[in-house]
Chain A
Amino acid sequence: MPRIRVGTEDSIQPGAPALVRHGGVEVGVFQVDGEFRAYLNRCPHQQGPVCTGPTTGTLAAARATGWKLAWVLDGRVLLCPWHTMEFDLLTGQRIRGRGERLRAYPVEVSGGEVFVTIGRPQVEPSQGRQCVG
Chain B
Amino acid sequence: MTLTHRQPLGLDDVVVVDCDVHVDDPPQALAPYVDMPWRRSLELLGRAPQRYLDIPGYAPTLNIDPPVPDRSVSTRSVHTARQMREELDELSVDLGVLFPDNLLRIAVFPQADYAAALGRAYNAWLADVWVQRERGLYGAVLAVPQDPRDAAAQIRRYGADDGFVGVYLPVAGLRPLWGERCYDPIFEAAEEMGLPVMLHSVGLIHPNFPFNLDHMTSRLVRHPIQHEFALMANLFTMIGSGVPVRYPDLDIVFTEGGVSWVPFVMWRLDKEFAENPTGAPLLERPPSSYVKQMYFCTQPVEEPERPRDLAAMIDLFDGRAQVLFASDWPHHDFDHPRKVLHMPFDADLKRKIMGENALRLLKLPAPVPV
Contact = CB atoms under 8 A, between A and B. Distances in A.
On whether the two chains bind one another, the answer is yes
B305 A98 contact: yes
Contact of A133 (B70, B306, B332, B339): B339
Interface string B58-82: 0000000000111101100000000
B73 A84 contact: yes
Contact of B333 (A59, A79, A83, A133): A83
B338 interface: yes
B307 interface: yes
Contacts, number: 48
Interface stretch (B46-54, B125-133, B280-288, B341-349): B341-349
A129 B74 CA distance: 26
A56 B341 contact: no
A116 B353 CA distance: 42
A133 B73 contact: no
A46 B335 contact: yes
Interface string B155-196: 000000000000000000000000000000000000000000
A59 B68 contact: yes
A131 B335 contact: no
Q: Which of B69, B332, B333, B341 has the most CB of A within 10 A?
A: B69
A47 interface: yes
Contacts of A59: 68
Given A56-B69, A59-B68, A130 B307 contact: yes
Helix, strand, loop or mixed for chain B's interface? loop
Given A46-B338, A47-B338, A81 B73 contact: yes
A131 B341 contact: no
Contacts of B71: 79, 84
Contacts of B74: 81-84
Contacts of A54: 70, 73
Contacts of B68: 59
B305 A129 contact: yes
Contacts of B342: 131-133
B336 interface: yes
Interface string A47-59: 1100001101101
Interface of A is mostly: loop
Nearest to B335: A46
Contact of B343 (A56, A83, A98, A131): A131
Given A46-B339, A84-B74, A131 B69 contact: no
A98 B306 CA distance: 12
B303 interface: yes
A81 B74 CA distance: 7
Contacts of A129: 305-306
Nearest to A52: B73
B339 to A, nearest CB: 5
Nearest to A71: B69
Nearest to B308: A131
Nearest to A59: B68
A127 B68 CA distance: 27
A54 B74 CA distance: 12
Contacts of B334: 82
B65 to A, nearest CB: 12
B234 to A, nearest CB: 27
A103 to B, nearest CB: 17
A56 B70 contact: yes
A32 to B, nearest CB: 15
A46 B340 CA distance: 10
Interface string A90-133: 00000000100000000000000000000000000000011111
Interface of B: 68-71, 73-74, 303, 305-307, 332-336, 338-339, 341-344
Q: What 6 A-B pairs are tightest by C-beta distance, nearest first?
A: A133-B338, A56-B70, A131-B307, A133-B342, A54-B70, A46-B336
Given A46-B338, A83-B333, A130-B303, 7 more contacts: A48-B336, A56-B69, A82-B334, A84-B332, A130-B305, A131-B307, A132-B339
